[in-house]
Structures are given as structure tokens and as C-alpha cells.
Amino acid sequence: MSSNIVLGQNQYGKAEVRVVKITRDTRRHEIEDLNVTSQLRGDFEAAHLEGDNTHVVATDTQKNTIYAFARDGIGSPEAFLLRLGEHFTSSFDWVTGGRWEAESYGWDRIQAHGSGHHHSFVRTGQEVRTAVLVRDGAAAHLISGLTDLTVLKSTQSGFVGFDRDKYTTLPETTDRILATDVSARWRFKTGTDFTAVDFNKSYADIKALLLEAFTEKYSHALQQTLFDMGAKVLEAHPEIDEIRFSMPNKHHFLVDLSPFGLDNPNEVFFAADRPYGLIEATVQRDDTVPADLAWAGITGFC
């Protein structure tokens, strides 16, 4: 092999470990549902170059560790990832860091006879909660987020004043449907004492703020609404340094009902699934310290 060919950055692990934890210490059971990925970084050169697996923590071992840790409860996806990251970086001298990711799926109690059932649940369909932990030596970067939060406002949105050239056919409008699937990830300040953060409370509050900001102002463009949503979160949560969004514009086109002798006073629409506008941006503090390593491996903005 040529002497000028070397091993670059690398990581490995077990992807998408589905784990469901039922807490049944009382008649009223609790459910926690995660999809967890564990990837380790460190001294794995010999495995790649020599086939020497001495330092390899088997991906099956990583899977089993996830299940074993779930036995003691999950609590929040962020807290669970922090436990995993601490375990792998402290238990194996050659593991210097890694990347741990989780999706969390929500369940509600089925309503029966006027109250939530003790042990029967129905999947909630609003959004998927996400978390990513990246460790590099002593530094830990934690990113929380959500995907597939579908929102729509039926008025108080328009789109005018955009540039026009010979290929522009889109008419201006001051009253349109604005709809999107919100994907957002927010990064906690580097050095945050994660033991002092109630991640479940933080997540619920940030989701509520995103929804409030979507409703509050007349939207001149999805870009403006995106920025307002991010700014509202940063103003309320000083522990968050930046928030990144990926938001498709889910177009709704007014249907022409005139061939049927009917008017359409902005009431009947065709919901197009593609093509769609895709708006992506980062909203951050002006003194934010970049943390490129934290975002490595996250496709696009979210």
C-alpha cells in the first residue's frame, strides 16, 4: 500500500437500537420509547490497518449496553445519552469520544371511562423528539430537537414584493395558507451543567414557544416566521446558544371552481406534496462560539 495513504476520521457503532421501557412498579404503568444510535471514536487504527480488534468494543456490546442501561430507566433522551457517553468514555481508555443519538416517540394514555387507562396507550402523532450527544475528550456537546412538527395557519400570511424576471409566474398574495413541517435542533451552551437541566421540562417549553411564535405575527415569508420562532426560544432560554431549522413550505393552491359555476372565496385548496420550497437557517446569539464538531454527521441543517 502506498505510504501516502493514511486513515482519516472514523467512528463506528450500533445504529437504530429500538428500546421500549415499561415501568410497572405500580398499577399505573409508564412507557418510554427510543431509537438509539451509539458510535465510538478513539484509537481504532489497528482495527482498520492491521485487522487487530483488541480495541474494538463490539457493536453488539454497544447494543446490549443500551438495553442494560434502560433497565434503570430512561428519564429523558438527553439524560440517557449522557449516561451512555460517560460509560463508554470512562470504561475504555482508548475511547476518547463518540456520538450518541436518540429519537423519542410519544405515547398518550387511551381514555377509558373518562380517565387515562393505567396500561393502554396510543402513539401520539405530533412530532418526533431528537437528541444528539457528541463527546471529544472532556468536552461534551448536547443538541436537542424535534422533527415532523406539522403546523398550519389559515390566514395572516402573505408573499409579496419578491423579485420578478421572465420566468416568474407566481402571483403575489396577502392572504394565503402557511403550512410547514418544523425540524429544529437547539444546541446547549458548551460547558452547561447538564445535571442541573430538566430536559423534559426544557423540551416541552421550547416546543410551546415554537408553536406560539408561529401563531403570533403576520407572516410576510416563511423565512421571517422561522427567525421569529428561533428568537423566541433564545430569548427565553439563555442556556441555548443556537437553533437550526429546516422547514419546507407546504404549498396550498386555490382550486379554480369556475368550470362548475362555483366561486372559491379562499376556501378550497389543493395541498401539493412536491415540489416545495425548503427554508433552512440558523438563529444564534451574536457571541456564539462555533461548535462544528457538535453538528458533524447531521445532514443539512437538521
The per-residue pLDDT string of the chain (302 residues; one tens digit each, 9 = 90 and over) reads 667 999 999 999 999 999 999 999 999 999 999 999 999 999 999 999 999 999 999 999 999 999 999 999 999 999 999 999 999 999 999 999 999 999 999 999 999 999 999 999 999 889 999 999 999 999 999 999 999 999 999 999 999 999 999 999 999 999 999 999 999 999 999 999 999 999 999 999 999 999 999 999 999 999 999 999 999 999 999 999 999 999 999 999 999 999 999 999 999 999 999 999 999 999 999 999 999 999 998 888 87
Compute, in degrees rounded to 10, the torsion defined by CA atoms 88, 90, 94, 95.
30
Of 55, 59, 153, 282, catalytic: 59
How far, in Å, CA of 157 to CA of 173, rounded? 9
Q: Which of 271, 239, 242, 243 is nearest to 255 (CA)?
A: 271
Backbone angles phi, psi at 174, to 5 degrees: -110, 0
Of 244, 268, 272, the closest CA to residue 254 belongs to 268
Determine which one of 21, 141, 250, 251 is catalytic.
251
Cβ atoms within 10 Å of 29's Cβ, excluding its own: 15
Annotated catalytic residue 201: no
C-alpha to C-alpha distances, 107 to 145, 235, 263, 287, nearest whole angstrom: 18, 30, 43, 38
Active-site residue, selected from the candidate residues 14, 63, 207, 250: 14
Are 186 and 203 within 8 A, CB to CB?
no
Name the helix (H) or strand (E) containing 296: none
Question: How far apart are alpha carbons 194 and 81 in whole angstroms?
Answer: 11
Q: What pTM, to 2 d.p., does this model score?
A: 0.94
**Known active-site residue 59:** yes
217 is catalytic: no
